[in-house]
Structure 1
Amino acid sequence: MKTIAIIPARGGSKRLLNKNILSLGGIPLIAHSIRYALENSNIVDEVHVSTDNEIIKKIALQYGAKVINRPENLSGDFEPTVSALKHVIESIKEDVEHVILLQPTNPLRPQSLLKEAFEVYQKGNYDSLFTVSKNHKKLGKIVENKFYPFNYAIGQRSQDVEPLFFENGLIYITKASLILEAIIISENAFPLEVNHIFANVDVDTQEDLEYAEYLIEKSSHAAAALGKIRST
């Protein structure tokens, strides 16, 4: 039984045109997720890119992924991601046990995250796992021009606010049997807390892309400085 990584990357994007093929750190955006999956070959048996776009297909093959041609009826703006995942499993016709979803719009991930996440997933015998991050902000709703606090009381100190968590999109792991039932996050899914700066990167606008580029440059400079220290 195989563990496969699936990277869904359709060609259509409204807010940031052709975002999946835009350059980030000198390579296409989607290539970051492909490389990440391939670097975890001790966990991932195969990497599949589901797409309806010819340029994305060529890039996926160039970086070592397999390509699944996504049909037009599964490539619309409102089609859920799970439809593409299910189509991949049904298309490859192999015995798949676990599916790792890597969204191309979350290109930056801590290097050891997948290893740690998969160990938690297996040891806990969970049927699905997804990553979340803590949010300490004071949140509320505005109704008819009036603000209603959601997770705090007016005047409460920020450090005393009970934190909420958000789905950061870095990694999803799910049993293939659930995907075939159109489920990615099950009722008993384990929320793995990841409080890392990369969890704030979700490329949907030009500003998001520039922020990701900044983090890559900052990480490269830090790595270079560390290398110099070790060599002296």
Structure 2
Amino acid sequence: MKTIAIIPARGGSKRLLHKNALLLDGIPLVAHSILYAQQNHLIIDEIYVSTDDNEIKKIALQYGAKVIDRPPSISGSFEPTITALQHTLQHVDSLISTIVLLQPTNPLRPKNLLKEAFNCFENNDCDSLFTVTRNHNKLGKIIENKYYPFNYSFGQRSQDLEPLYFENGLLYITKAAFILEHKIITENAFPLEVNHIFASVDIDTQDDFEYATYLIKKESRL
């Protein structure tokens, strides 16, 4: 039984055109996740890129990943990620026990994150794991032009807020059987807290891309 990484990277993107092929620090965006998976070869047995795009396919093959050709019927902008994962599993010959989902739009990850995450996944009674980050903002809702605090009271200090967390998208680990049941995050998923600056990077716009570029340059100077 194998653990495989799946990187879903379709060609269409509306807010940042063809983003998965754009060069981030001289490397195509999708290739950052391929390289990260390769660096964790003791955990990941095979790397698959699911794409409907010929340029992304060429990039994936160039960087040593295997490619699953995704049909147009599951490549639309509103298509959930789970269908790409299911389609990949249906076209892989090997017996797969575990899926590591690496989204190309989250190209920056702490070096030892997957090792830490996989240890947590194996040592806890869970069927999946996903990464989260603590939110330190004062959040509220606006209803009929009136503001209602959600996680605080007016005048409350930020450091006294009840902890809230957001799903940061850095990585997901799920038993393959649950992917086939349409689940990436299962009922007893382990939320791994990652409070790292990379957790704030999710590339969907030009500003996101420029922020990621800035962080890469900053890290290289440290």
TM-score range, shorter chain: over 0.9
- 1:138-196 deviations in Å (ceiling 9; x for gaps): 00011111111000011111111112100000010000000011100001000000000
Which one-letter code corresponds to 1:103 in the other structure? Answer: Q
The aligned counterpart of 2:145 is 145
Q: Is the 8 A contact 1:137 1:163 kept in 2?
A: no
Instruction: Show structure 1 runs of 4+ deviating over 2 A.
Output: none
Distance 1:50 1:212 in 2: 23
SS in 1 for 2:91: helix
The aligned counterpart of 2:4 is 4
TM-score, reference length from structure 2: 0.99
SS in 2 for 1:92: coil
The aligned counterpart of 1:42 is 42
Residues 1-232 of structure 1 mapped to structure 2, 5 A cutoff? 1-222=1-222
- 1:80-135 deviations in Å (ceiling 9; x for gaps): 10000000001113200000000000000000000000000001131000000000
Question: How far off is 1:217 after superposition?
Answer: 0.4
Q: Is the 8 A contact 1:136 1:162 kept in 2?
A: no
Question: How far off is 1:47 after superposition?
Answer: 0.3
Distance 2:168 2:52 in 1: 25
Distance 1:136 1:212 in 2: 21
Which one-letter code corresponds to 1:32 in the other structure? Answer: H
SS in 1 for 2:98: strand
Which one-letter code corresponds to 1:219 in the other structure? Answer: E
SS in 2 for 1:147: strand
Which one-letter code corresponds to 2:169 in the other structure? Answer: G
SS in 2 for 1:129: strand
Distance 1:26 1:12 in 2: 21
Q: Point out where structure 2 has 5 or more consecutive residues left out of the alignment.
A: none
Q: Is the 8 A contact 1:32 1:107 kept in 2?
A: yes
SS in 1 for 2:220: helix
Q: RMSD value over aligned CA atoms?
A: 0.6
Which one-letter code corresponds to 1:195 in the other structure? Answer: N
Distance 2:93 2:44 in 1: 17
Which one-letter code corresponds to 1:189 in the other structure? Answer: A
Which one-letter code corresponds to 1:16 in the other structure? Answer: L
SS in 1 for 2:154: coil
Tell me the matched-pair count.
222
Q: Is the 8 A contact 1:108 1:198 kept in 2?
A: yes
